[in-house]
C-alpha cells in the first residue's frame, strides 16, 4: 500500500500562490515585494552576529528518548545571543500534518515561542517567535495521506499493525498540499477577508527595501514569512530561502539509454518493495515495550523510511515531465536577486538555504535523480549570474555558504573546480536534528560527476566531503549522533563565517555533548 502521496509541481506552485494572494491588485497598488522581508530585532545592522541551523527535525520522542528535544537544549546551551534559527526543511514528519505540530514542533522548541511556558495552549497556526525560526519547505511538509488510508487508520494501534506499520507518524491528516506549513509560518493572506486586507498590509508591510515595501518580521510580535521562497538582509549578509520541492524534478532519461535505465529502475523498485515487506514482517514480531526490541524496531523503521524515499525518487525518474514541472519563475527570481546583491556595495556575503542538497554523500541521497536535478538547475542559475557579473566578483565564489537538509546527517562539502560557476562553494548539509540519522555511502568522500560535451562522455571530480556526522558502526560500536550548527559571522569585508558543528549522542543511557571544533570558511 502506498502510504504517502505528493502533489505535482504545478499544484504546489498554484496552491502556495493562492494562500499568499500572489500579486493581488491591492498588493500591487502598494508596490509590495512578496518575496522580501526585514527581520526587525533592532540589531540587524550589527555586522558581528550569530545564528543557528537545524533541519529534518520534526519527529516525536521514540522509546523514551527525544533526540529533537536534545538538539533544542543544545541550542539553548550554545545559543549565546544568536539572532535567529534557519530550518532546512521537514519541519513535521511524516506528512506535514497539523495534528503533529504540538508534539513535533511546539513542545520541543517551546523556549523560543511566546507563551512557551504553556506549550499546550499554543495553536500551530498562531505561533509567535521570541527567537525567529525561519524555515523552508521540506518534501515531508508537502506530503499527503491517500484517502483510503485516512479512512481506516490514524486512530488505533491494531489497525496500524494490520497494515504492517507500527508507531509511524501518519495520523488522520496530511499536509493538505503544504497548507499546514503555510498556516504555521507564512502570512496566510487568503484567510484575511477582503475588507481587512488593506489594514493588514498597511500594518505589517511597513518595511522598505530596494524592491519596494515588504513585510516587517518582528520577534515577539508579528513573526510571519512572506512567501515559500524569500530573502532578507541581516548584518550585511543577504540570505536567500528557496523551495527546492519545485525544481527537483529529475531530468529526462538519456534517449539512447532510456529503455535500459527504465528497466533497471523498475527492477530496483521491485527489489526494494520485496525488501520492505521482509522488514515489515520482522517488525510484526517485535515488541516496542521491550527496550532491546524497541531499539531494533527503530532501526528497522529507519530502513523502511530509506526504502520509501528511494522508491519515490525512482517513481519521479520514471514519470514523463514537461517544463511545467520545473519552477523557472523561482529560479529566475534567484538569478535576478543574486545579481542585484552583487551590485550592492553594502552586502558583505551571501547565504542560500533550501531542502534538497546538490552535493551530498549520505548513502540514500547521493545518487538520486532529485539530487542531480537540483545541482544542475542551481548550477544553471549560477552560470547566468556569473556571465552577467563579469569580473565584479574578483574571484570570489558567488555564494559563501549553502545550507541544506534532506540527508539525515551533518556534512561539510566543498566543490572543487567543476568547470562551472558553482566552483569552490561551501555546502553544509544540516539534516541530523531529530529524524533517525543515516550512514555515509561506501564509495568514499570524493564526488565524481558524469559529463557529456563535444568530446563525448567523461567523468571528473566535482566536490569533496570534508566532514560527515551520521550513523556509523554496528552492534556495541554503533553511533547515532544528532546535530545542528552554530554560525558566527564576523565583521569585515568580505565576511568570515565560522561554523561550529554541535553534536549530541545517547551513550549508555545518557546524552553526551560531542560537539566538534569550529570550521572557518
In a domain, 347, yes or no: yes
310 and 357: one domain?
no
What confidence category does residue 478 fall into, taking pLDDT thresholds of 50, 70 and 90?
Answer: confident
Domain range spanning residue 483? Answer: 9-252+321-520
Grid cell of 75 as nine digits: 541550542
Q: Give per-residue burial for 59-71: e unless 16+ CB within 10 Å, then b.
A: bbebeeebbbbbb
Mean pLDDT of 53-58: 96
Do residues 235 and 263 both lie within one domain?
no
Does the structure show a pLDDT above 60 at 163?
Answer: no
Residue 303 domain-assigned (yes or no) = yes
SS3 state of residue 514:
coil
Task: List the single range of 172-176, 240-244, 393-397, 481-485 with lowest mean pLDDT.
Answer: 172-176
CA distance 227 to 474: 43
Same domain, 48 and 191: yes
pLDDT at 161: 44
Q: For 111-223, where are the E strands, in sequence order?
A: 133-135, 207-209, 212-217
Is residue 2 domain-resident? no
- Say if residue 434 is in the same domain as residue 502: yes
Question: Which one-letter DSSP state was computed for residue 467?
Answer: E
Mean pLDDT of 455-459: 77
Both 289 and 224 in one domain: the answer is no
Q: At what angle do helices 291-318 and 369-389 cross, to 10 degrees?
A: 60
294 and 354 housed in the same domain: no
Total tally of structural domains belonging to the chain: 2
Whether residue 373 sits in one domain with residue 311: no
Cell of 27: 498588493
Beta-sheet pairing, 510-513 with 133-135: unpaired
Same domain? 219 vs 283? no
The C-alpha cell at 385 is 549570474
What is the overall mean pLDDT for the chain?
Answer: 91
- 182-191, 263-272, 379-388, range with the lowest pLDDT: 263-272
Could you give phi then psi for residue 465, rounded to 5 degrees?
-90, 115
Confidence of residue 350 (pLDDT cuts 50, 70, 90): very high
Whether 67 is covered by a domain: the verdict is: yes
> Is the pLDDT reported for residue 167 higher than 60?
no
d(CA 123, CA 134): 18
Confidence band (pLDDT; 50, 70, 90) for 448? very high
- Report the 10 Å Cβ neighbour count for 253: 17
* pLDDT given at position 455: 62
39: its cell numbers: 527581520
- pLDDT of 510 higher than 60: yes
Interatomic CA distance for residues 497 and 348, integer angstroms: 11
Distance of CA 101 to the CA centre of its chain: 17
Is residue 149 over pLDDT 70? Answer: no
Sheet of 349-353, strands arranged across: 207-209, 212-217, 32-39, 230-234, 237-241, 349-353, 401-404, 426-430, 410-415, 456-469, 446-453
Say yes or no: 327 and 287 in one domain: no
Instruction: Record the pTM.
Output: 0.94
Give the pLDDT score at 283. Answer: 81
Instruction: Determine the Cα–Cα distance for residues 235 and 186; give it in Å rounded to an integer.
Output: 23
d(CA 96, CA 136): 13
Residue that terminates a domain, selected from 274, 293, 316: 316
| 220 in Cβ contact with 303 (< 8 Å) | no
pLDDT of residue 257: 78
Grouping H, G, I as helix, E, B as strand and the rest as coil, residue 204 is helix
Other Cβ atoms closer than 10 A to 501: 23
Lowest mean pLDDT among 40-44, 255-259, 468-472: 255-259
Q: How far, CA to CA in Å, does 416 sit from each of 338, 425, 519?
A: 21, 8, 18
pLDDT in tens, 415-430: 999 999 999 999 999 9
d(CA 9, CA 322): 10
Residue after which a domain boundary falls, among 299, 316, 333: 316
Domain membership flag for residue 4: no
> pLDDT higher for 336 or 306?
336
- 270 — pLDDT class (breaks 50, 70, 90): very high
The beta strands (E) that lie in 260-354 are given as 349-353
Amino acid 170: pLDDT: 67
The answer to whether residue 3 is domain-embedded is no
pLDDT, residue 282, reads 84
- pLDDT at residue 456, rounded to an integer: 67
Same domain? 245 vs 365: yes
Name which residue leads in pLDDT, 173 or 391.
391
Q: Which helix (H) or strand (E) holds 402?
A: strand 401-404
Nearest to 2 by CA among 274, 308, 268, 248: 308
270 and 243 co-located in one domain: no
Which residue in 388, 378, 391 sits closest to 336, CA to CA? 388
Placement of cell 512567501 in the chain: 227
C-alpha cell at 116: 512557551
What is the tens place of the pLDDT at every residue in 394-415? 999 999 999 999 999 999 999 9
C-alpha distances in Å from residue 249, one per residue of 73, 78, 204, 281:
36, 38, 35, 33
The per-residue pLDDT for 300 is 80
19-33 confidence digits (pLDDT tens):
999 999 999 999 999
C-alpha to C-alpha distance for 163 and 412, rounded to whole angstroms = 39
Q: Which one of 290, 316, 342 terminates a domain?
A: 316
CB 232 within 8 A of CB 239: yes
Cell numbers linked to 113: 515561542
391 and 285 part of one domain:
no
- Structural domain includes residue 87: yes
Candidate ranges 96-100, 129-133, 253-257; pick with highest mean pLDDT:
129-133
Task: Report cis status (omega within 30 of 0) of the bond before 494.
Answer: yes
CATH code of the domain covering residue 479? 3.60.21.10
pLDDT-derived band at 2 (thresholds 50, 70, 90) equals: low
Query: How confident is residue 38, by pLDDT bands cut at 50, 70 and 90?
Result: very high
Tens of pLDDT, residues 292-304 = 777 777 778 778 8
Residue 372 lies in a domain: yes
Nearest in space to 215 (alpha carbons), one of 105, 333, 132, 96: 132
Amino acid at each position: 500500500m502506498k502510504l504517502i502521496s505528493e502533489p505535482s509541481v504545478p499544484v504546489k506552485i498554484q496552491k502556495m500562490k493562492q494562500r499568499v494572494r500572489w500579486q493581488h491588485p491591492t498588493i500591487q497598488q502598494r508596490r509590495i515585494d512578496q518575496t522580501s522581508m526585514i527581520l526587525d530585532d533592532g540589531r540587524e545592522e550589527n555586522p558581528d552576529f550569530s545564528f543557528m541551523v537545524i533541519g529534518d527535525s520534526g519527529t516525536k520522542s521514540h522509546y523514551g528518548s527525544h533526540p529533537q528535544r536534545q538538539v533544542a537544549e543544545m541550542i539553548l546551551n550554545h545559543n549565546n545571543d544568536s539572532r535567529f534559527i534557519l530550518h532546512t526543511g521537514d519541519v513535521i514528519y511524516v506528512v506535514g500534518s497539523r495534528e503533529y505540530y504540538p508534539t513535533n514542533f511546539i513542545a520541543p522548541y517551546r523556549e523560543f515561542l511566546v507563551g512557551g511556558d504553556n506549550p499546550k495552549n499554543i495553536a500551530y497556526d498562531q505561533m509567535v517567535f521570541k527567537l525567529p525560526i525561519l524555515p523552508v519547505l521540506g518534501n515531508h511538509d508537502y506530503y499527503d495521506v491517500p484517502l483510503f488510508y485516512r479512512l481506516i487508520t490514524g486512530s488505533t494501534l491494531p489497525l496500524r499493525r494490520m497494515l504492517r506499520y507500527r508507531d509511524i507518524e501518519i495520523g488522520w491528516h496530511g499536509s493538505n498540499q503544504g497548507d499546514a506549513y503555510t498556516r504555521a509560518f507564512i502570512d496566510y493572506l487568503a484567510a484575511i477577508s477582503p475588507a481587512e486586507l488593506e489594514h493588514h498590509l498597511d500594518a505589517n508591510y511597513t518595511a522598505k527595501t530596494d524592491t519596494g515595501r515588504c513585510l516587517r518580521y518582528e520577534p515577539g510580535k508579528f513573526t510571519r514569512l512572506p512567501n515559500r521562497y524569500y530573502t532578507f538582509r541581516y548584518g550585511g549578509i543577504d540570505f536567500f530561502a528557496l523551495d527546492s520541492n519545485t525544481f527537483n524534478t529529475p531530468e529526462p532519461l538519456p534517449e539512447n539509454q532510456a529503455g535500459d535505465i527504465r528497466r533497471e529502475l523498475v527492477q530496483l523498485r521491485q527489489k526494494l518493495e520485496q525488501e520492505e515487506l521482509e522488514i515489515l514482517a520482522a517488525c510484526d514480531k517485535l515488541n516496542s515495550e521491550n527496550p532491546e526490541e524497541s531499539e531494533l524496531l527503530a532501526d528497522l523503521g529507519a530502513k523502511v523510511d530509506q526504502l520509501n524515499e528511494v522508491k519515490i525518487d525512482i517513481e519521479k525518474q520514471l514519470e514523463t515531465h514537461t517544463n511545467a514541472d520545473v519552477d523557472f519563475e523561482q529560479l529566475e527570481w534567484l538569478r535576478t536577486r543574486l545579481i542585484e546583491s552583487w551590485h550592492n556595495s553594502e552586502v558583505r556575503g551571501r547565504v542560500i538555504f533550501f531542502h534538497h542538497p546538490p552535493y551530498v554523500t549520505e548513502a540514500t541521497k547521493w545518487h538520486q535523480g532529485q539530487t542531480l536535478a537540483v545541482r544542475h538547475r542551481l548550477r544553471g542559475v549560477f552560470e547566468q549570474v556569473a556571465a552577467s557579473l563579469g569580473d565584479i566578483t574578483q574571484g570570489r565564489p558567488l555564494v559563501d555558504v549553502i545550507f541544506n537538509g534532506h540527508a539525515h546527517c551533518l556534512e561539510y562539502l566543498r566543490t572543487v573546480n567543476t568547470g562551472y560557476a558553482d566552483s569552490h562553494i561551501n555546502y553544509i548539509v544540516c539534516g541530523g536534528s531529530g529524524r533517525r540519522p543515516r550512514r555515509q555511502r561506501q564509495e568514499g568522500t570524493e564526488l565524481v560527476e558524469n559529463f557529456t560535451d563535444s568530446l563525448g562522455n567523461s567523468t571528473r571530480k566535482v566536490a569533496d566531503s570534508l566532514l560527515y556526522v551520521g550513523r556509523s558502526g554496528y552492534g556495541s560500536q554503533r553511533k547515532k549522533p544528532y546535530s545542528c550548527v552554530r554560525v558566527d559571522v564576523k565583521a569585515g569585508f568580505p565576511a568570515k563565517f565560522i561554523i561550529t558543528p554541535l553534536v549530541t549522542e545517547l551513550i549508555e543511557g545518557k546524552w553526551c555533548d560531542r560537539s566538534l571544533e569550529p570550521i572557518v570558511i
